[in-house]
Amino acid sequence: MEESEGDDHCPRPRGVNVTHLVKERVRQIAELIQNELVLSKAIDNRVLISGEVTKGPRTAVQRLPRHMRRRAMSYNIKRFPRMQRRFAISAVAASKHRQKPPSRFWRRRPRNLLLVIFL
């Protein structure tokens, strides 16, 4: 199972050109980052609230402290802190959240409740 000596028709380079290798890797990384930003619409760190840095796209809920997230998971914007509502409004508007249909009970309720009570 030894390699045959005749397969040396493509000689390998004995050295590595480091500058060429580094330039190529920098170009590849820049291309990956550019594609990632275009595809995911990542949040730019310069736009964020001071002291907050992200490593990728984050939703409005992910920017909240953990103890506040469960309440804010609903799509009720009033459950967000006032300082973050503007960002939450834009995030919810951009989401593909579908409004749920009214329940069967709600659809079958009497339409004119006041008339029913006073008659």
pTM here? Answer: 0.35
* Dihedral over Cα of 93, 96, 101, 102: its sign: negative
Instruction: Please list the pLDDT of the chain residue by residue as tens digits (119 residues).
Output: 455 555 557 778 788 889 999 999 999 988 888 777 665 555 555 665 555 555 555 777 777 777 777 776 776 788 888 888 888 888 877 777 777 888 888 888 887 777 666 66
Domain residue limits, the chain: 59-94
Q: Which residues of 34-68 are buried (b: 16+ CB within 10 A; e: fewer)?
A: eeeeeeeeebeeeeeeeeeeeeeeeebbebbeeee
Summarised one tens digit per residue, pLDDT across range 72-101 is: 677 678 888 888 888 888 887 777 777 788
DSSP H/E element including 28: helix 18-40
